[in-house]
Amino acid sequence: MSILEEEQPQTVSSIPHDYTKRMMVFGGRASMELASKIAGKLDVDLGQADLRTFADGEVYCRYQESIRGADIFLVQSTAANKAEGMTPNDALMELLVMIDAAKGASAHRIVAVMPWYGYSRQDKKSAPREPISARVVAQCLEAVGVDRVLTMDLHSGQVQGFFSKPVDHMTAMPMLTQYFMDQAWDNDLVIVSPDAGRVKVARNFARKVGVHWAVMEKERPAHNVAQTGYVVGDVQGKTAVLVDDMIDTAGTLTAAAKTVLDEGAASVIACATHGVFSGPAYERLAYENSGIERIVVTDTIPLRPGQPENITQLSAAQTLADSIRRIFADDSVSEIFAGENQLF
């Protein structure tokens, strides 16, 4: 053996190494309550950050503790929060500056936890000279330095394709189906899709609960205006559960509720992941106006004050915390849902 082939002694660096990973969870002002719940489920303290809006409307962020080398999970739905005076655009801009501040502070990995992905409905051009705003949001997040995005029940699956970074898609459907299986109902349930685009979700929902499903024929003559025609399926004498990914102005939902009641349903319950509830939604959804006995949503979007009594809010904190834990540990996220977290 030549001298060159002899084993050379290994040089050991005198610089101390600590390869222990560190997780930190921060909340934006649009989702601070949900972020606190998630941190509690993960058994970590919610990170402290100075988040402010200046007099001219500009947002500001400064982390009040060192985040160098840590995996940072930033919880912020790009939705309005009336209590904090936040609009969806404020929430989006705040998330962007939080990502930039984390990148400049040498965070190891920056994960945007966006339970509600704002602008997700504008995922294609429906008319000439329109933007694809869901893609614009994705480009902004990547341009400012996000490493990964965690979101829940996107309005359409193709939004994931607007990212070159990894996107983990969660679904609240297991939690929502469990809620309906745990309740005692006076009548048989039937799961109803408010339009043909959500048929797969309604079918999977019905299979989980163990009941039949139906679908509505619907036309939308203009934005935020819905016209529902008829029901395909048997709802006679049953409790119809209208399942959708979101409730915004509730025009679609109240029209659908009227249709199933006219078709002979004994009662109507609504179920959705995201309760946007903008504009006249609260007034429309009140039982005396809509005939909907119960509206079940999650806390991906904070409720604005004055909600009607028939709204029930479930927390998605456990599902999001489980996903964050697996991302941090580099484990499979889809195992949480047995591979069924793509319901499109």
CA distance 160 to 104: 26
Residue 211 sits in a domain of what CATH number?
A: 3.40.50.2020
Residues 6+ apart with CB under 8 A from 327: 73, 111, 148, 150, 168, 333
Structure tokens at 243: 């399942």
Q: Is the pLDDT of residue 3 over 60?
A: no
Structure tokens at 113: 């936890």
> What is the pLDDT, as a whole number, of residue 341?
58
* CA angle (73, 147, 37) in 5-degree steps: 15
Q: Is the pLDDT of residue 12 over 80?
A: no
Same domain flag for 147 and 213: no
Size of the chain in residues: 344
Same domain flag for 157 and 43: yes
Candidate from 9-18, 71-80, 279-288, 328-337 with smallest mean pLDDT? 9-18
Per DSSP, 115 falls in state S
Global pTM?
0.89
> What is the pLDDT, as a whole number, of residue 6?
58
Same domain flag for 118 and 204: no
How do residues 72-110 score in pLDDT, each as one tens digit?
Answer: 999 999 999 999 999 999 999 999 999 999 999 999 999
Same domain flag for 258 and 294: yes
Same domain flag for 178 and 259: yes
Same domain flag for 180 and 160: no
Say if 11 falls within a structural domain: no
* pLDDT, mean of residues 116-140: 96
Mean pLDDT of the chain: 91
How do residues 232-242 score in pLDDT, each as one tens digit?
Answer: 889 999 999 99
**Which residue among 37, 41, 218, 238 is the active-site one?**
218
Containing structural domain, residue 278: 173-314
Say if 2 falls within a structural domain: no
> What is the pLDDT, as a whole number, of residue 342?
55
- C-beta neighbour count of 101 within 10 angstroms: 22
- Is position 218 annotated as part of the catalytic site? yes
Same domain flag for 222 and 268: yes
Q: Is the pLDDT of residue 283 over 80?
A: yes
> What is the pLDDT, as a whole number, of residue 18?
59
**In 3-state terms, what secondary structure has residue 63?**
strand
CA distance 130 to 265: 40
Same domain flag for 254 and 326: no
* CA angle (220, 223, 224) in 5-degree steps: 85
Same domain flag for 163 and 273: no
Same domain flag for 126 and 240: no
Q: Is the pLDDT of residue 343 over 50?
A: no
Same domain flag for 131 and 223: no
**Domains in the chain, number:** 2
In percent, how much of the chain has pLDDT > 70? Answer: 90
* 307 vs 341 pLDDT, higher one: 307
Same domain flag for 201 and 226: yes
The amino acid at residue 39 is A
